[in-house]
Structure 1
């Protein structure tokens, strides 16, 4: 296939792309393994199709997730997220997609560029609109250059990268931001003129633990005892914790969780991003990809955290509470996620953005990657210089924080 055989176009809604065509690029059935529920059937189907792939299933790049954020009016032009999804066609076949939005602000992205915007606007430029290739409101690493299996991956990715630059010019945007992209895509885009940025998150890694106590045995004595105390104290007031997934997630549970989300989100952000209908939509289309960890006391739900389940990872997202109890946040968000991941045999838990307090709970620093195309040459030079220094700082911070890990040395015996 030659590059001349590839055509590019954009659409203003994910609904304009058939779900099977989108997922053939983002999450082929052969990749999914249905979160561990039906791996044998999935593998059999993949064999029948002759297209088995070992790439992990990522719920956030699924058509269902984008459909939910757009149909619920969480990500729409009114909220500053105007869909401009980029499509690469090889003949009549959709061979590649970049989920992309024309943004009028920088909220809900978790890769902070407001300093760039302020500097450019002080110099007389206009930073907005900009193009954002990402999953709205979701700081989880996953593919952004989505390419169908069985195509020339290098060629399609190159066409998509060039298409983003062309789209930037066509929309008169200041820049293109490809955020929380895998390292391989980050390097690929750098070869095509995108600037490289790094940051860090905190992830828990499963070292083949058989249960939570087995994990505790890997910690040094001080952290092991502290974790046991926190888990005990979190449930001291008659609180029980429940895992809800699939058909167990009722509208009553979504109502309760949305109350938590609004109460906590309003305090943290001023205006939470996701609408109530978003949660009902993912309940209809993605229930098996969702884990609600809910805390109950005196017959009512009082706190909860929503997680999304990939084929090899649990992705922690939003937390909220209407009652506040010591260590309940740690129990619901971090310890229960670890317990679930161990039981499901998942390789890691990604606990979302920020939070050095997660280190003491066994979550270690992990570098994240983003790639940025800046149209204005002066701004591009300034940002390039800044990013070189920032990458050095991030690398040093990751090394230093890794040294503070709570895991025991060989001489420290479990107790």
Structure 2
């Protein structure tokens, strides 16, 4: 029997019941959860005023109006907070007389984390429903007269739905650590070459011999005082890296209340005062490093807090991998391997679409070559 569907949009994630949204998730990925997206909106972090106007997709079965799929979608007035850089496309299109902004962004704001973007419950017509969401984003762009649709940090299994609808696939690179069944950190080190093993031991030893106190906090262990301290680190790092930090102080309070059990906060004290911290989220199979900051500089503190403590935690809790955020070839020497990321892009103007397609052919060749080159320099023993 043929099932028919209707697509609608939300101006706020709160317009849809949390159970209906989360019922479309196939796993416990924190960044596409109703609670995470709601915290972004209600805290004033991702709103029309900040250039992220919610326009989320909802797919319903006509027969009973039950939710059959959702997608986090935004009308964007800029390209900040995306981590898949399209500024050169915007400049080229506008130099040719086009209007690149606003555009549609199918993603999670400020989160360069691979995950589901076409969210549908498991079922026999799962692929069809993903395609309806991907197609729906294109139809909205056409209806609103927007230049393009950009679905970023897609899982590989979602690429087919986008590619078949004419989206262009773009390849990126991050550095991820993979747990090969290690029993402890020393067990992981035995997989490395002697020189790299000695270097990491030296870094950890020096980081931990400076009189600093390290804490690992989760759930209700994290208090407003911890968030106050961490927010000061976040603001300092954000001001130096991005100019204007994206997240408000209220965001951290809200995720602490609603997603606390999926938060792992590494905090560092010096003489009884917090001086550094790293915020991570976790699912059953992954630890996601998101934000880091400090108010004092100490040798190897960044590596210890962000990378080595994350590996320690993943091993102790049986987590399969650690994703340590965007960019960072320096992670390679610390056991984080080059990993492809994917995004999908559709331009309404056929000429512009073709020009981007040609650009991506060359960029993909360069990215493949870079990843192949990086893999020659992993710290693991050569077999």
- Give the 3-state SS of the residue equivalent to 2:322 in structure 1: strand
Q: Does 1:365 align with 2:365?
A: no
Distance in 2, Cα, partners of 1:275 & 1:400: 39
Q: How far 1:409 moved relative to its partner?
A: 3.3
Give structure 1 stretches of 5+ with no counterpart: 32-56, 411-415
Contact 1:95 1:151 in 2 (8 A): no
The whole-number CA distance in structure 1 between the counterparts of 2:115 and 2:272 is 39
Matches of 1:409 and 1:120, distance apart in 2 = 46
Offset, 1:157? 1.2
| Equivalence for 2:374 | 401
SS of 1:126 mapped into structure 2: coil
Structure 1 residue 298 corresponds to structure 2 residue 297:
no
Q: What is the DSSP-based 3-state SS (H/G/I as helix, E as strand, rest coil) of the residue aligned with 1:332?
A: helix
- Partners of 1:377 and 1:152 lie apart in 2 by 30
Match of 1:73 in 2: 44
- Post-superposition CA distance 1:257-310 (Å, at most 9, x none): 000000111011111100000000000000000000111110011000000001
TM-score, with structure 2 as normaliser: 0.98
In the alignment, the residues of structure 2 paired with residue 78 and residue 369 of structure 1 have an alpha-carbon distance, to the nearest angstrom, of 28
Q: Distance in 2 between matches of 1:108 and 1:67?
A: 17
Superposed counterparts of 1:186-205, under 5 Å: 186-205=159-178
Contact kept? 2:39, 2:254, Cα under 8 Å: yes
Q: CA deviation at 1:141?
A: 0.3
The 3-state SS of whatever aligns with 1:89 is: strand
Of 170, 194, 215, the match for 1:221: 194
1:122 aligns with 2:121: no
- Alignment pair present for 1:87 and 2:22: no
The equivalent residue for 1:237 is 210
SS of alignment partner, residue 25 of structure 1: coil
Which residue of 2 is the match for residue 380 of structure 1? 353
Q: For 1:175 and 1:382, how far apart are their aligned partners in 2?
A: 13
Contact 2:79–2:86, Cα closer than 8 Å, also in 1: yes
Q: CA deviation at 1:103?
A: 0.1
Q: State which of 274, 278, 291 in structure 1 corresponds to 2:251.
A: 278
The aligned residue for residue 52 of structure 1 is: none
User: In structure 2, how many angstroms separate the alpha carbons of the residues matched to 1:370 and 1:230?
Assistant: 35
Superposed, which structure 2 residues align to 1:276-355 within 5 Å? Answer: 276-355=249-328
CA contact (8 A) 1:24 1:149 kept: no
| In 2, Cα distance between equivalents of 1:257 and 1:95 | 38
Tell me, which stretches of 5 or more residues in structure 2 are unaligned? none
Deviation at 1:68, TM superposition (A): 0.6
- Name the SS of the counterpart of 2:357 in structure 1: helix
**Corresponding position of 1:54:** none
Of 130, 147, 156, 2:129 maps to 156
2: distance between equivalents of 1:361 and 1:154?
38
Query: How far is 1:81 from its partner?
Result: 0.1
Question: Could you tell me how far apart the structure 1 residues matched to 2:144 and 2:263 are?
Answer: 36
Dislocated runs of 4+, deviation >3 Å: none
Tell me the equivalent position of 2:20.
21
**Matched residue SS, 1:242:** strand
Give the distance between the partners of 2:245 and 2:372, measured in 1 at CA: 34
Q: Could you tell me how far 1:151 is from its partner in structure 2?
A: 5.6
Superposition RMSD in Å: 1.0
Mapped contact 1:21–1:94 kept (Cα < 8 A): yes
Deviation at 1:181?
0.3
Write the deviation string for residues 8-37 of structure 1: whole angstroms up to 9, x where unpaired. 11111000010000000025xxx4xxxxxx
Secondary structure of the residue aligned to 2:211 is: coil
Cα gap change, 1:161 to 1:409, in 2 (>3 Å): closer
